[in-house]
Amino acid sequence: MNTLPIRIISLASRLDRRRQIAAQFDRLGISGYSFLDAVNGKQQPDHPLFSHYDPVARARVKGRGRDLKPSQLGCFASHYLLWQECAESGRPLIVVEDDAILKDNFPEMLDHAQALLHEWPFIWLHEYDRPGRDAFMHVGRVGPFALTRKLKRHSCSVAYLLAPAGARALLEGSRTWIYPLDDAVFRFYEHGVENIVIQPACVAQDHESPSDITGAAVESPLPLGDKIRREAYQVRDTVWRLVHNLRFRLSHKRPA
């Protein structure tokens, strides 16, 4: 029986999504879930957590005119609130976004959730939507689930297991917001929270449902100086990631 709180990130105005995700949990016979009213960046432009955002640093890394959108800040703040909740309570959480599609093996994951978190403090539960395009390595197994570590990035932030140690590390690594939530979490080489994914996945993303975060954006061409600086930061991150991956391989033996 699941004993971990399940927290669903959802805008209070999106009753349609709340009904949809609640129906999925009910179908699987899962209780113990509750909704977090997501931060609406467009309607709450002065939210106190937005003080973490550094537009100057963002422009330096990505170029001028590439500010984070209010919806992206709201997404970051919503997850950040749950990281704080997890760290302060000292109790693990299961975080799910309201556009998640729960697979039939989700209850099986719940049965092994505590054991999974005993292995790693942060574990992605959703599938990668670009299979074969990112290298990974096997790092363990818990029950029917293989554990893999992504060497570059995962995709989106639909659902994950979170232990207090992982929450504290993410909070420490997010004192300053420069990147969207997904990109910030994927920077394992910076904050030390590895990108661990379970296989088979127990969650998928509803790609048919319009996103409340992304949207069409018209960006003017970057000046040459900004382009050069952005590429320099990309090279720095690539080297940083390669060094981190090499150290990980040397310090972690592959499971038999």
Query: What tens digit of pLDDT does each residue of 223-247 get?
Result: 888 899 999 999 999 999 999 999 9
Does residue 107 carry a pLDDT above 80?
A: yes
Q: Look up the pTM and report it.
A: 0.92
User: Rounded to an integer, what distance in angstroms lies between the CA atom of residue 44 and that of residue 12?
Assistant: 13
CA atoms within 13 A on the CB side of 174: 28
Q: Residues of the chain with pLDDT > 70: what percent?
A: 91
Task: Give the domains, in start order, of the chain with CATH numbers.
Answer: 6-251 (3.90.550)
Residue pLDDT, tens place only, 16-41 = 999 999 999 999 999 999 999 999 99
Angstrom distance (rounded) from CA 91 to CA 57: 33
Does the structure show a pLDDT above 90 at 211?
A: no
**pLDDT for the residue 178:** 97
What average pLDDT does this structure show over 209-230?
A: 72
Asked if residue 9 has pLDDT above 70, the reply is: yes
Q: What is the mean pLDDT of residues 213-218?
A: 50
Q: What is the mean pLDDT of the chain?
A: 92
Which range of 143-157, 177-191, 210-224 scores highest in mean pLDDT? It is 177-191
| 181-190 average pLDDT score | 96
pLDDT over threshold 70, residue 14: yes
**How distant is the alpha carbon of residue 40 from its chain centre?**
18
The H-assigned helical ranges of the chain are 15-27, 55-62, 70-89, 106-119, 164-173, 181-186, 188-191, 224-251
Query: What was the pLDDT predicted at 213?
Result: 56
Cβ–Cβ < 8 Å for 94, 8: no
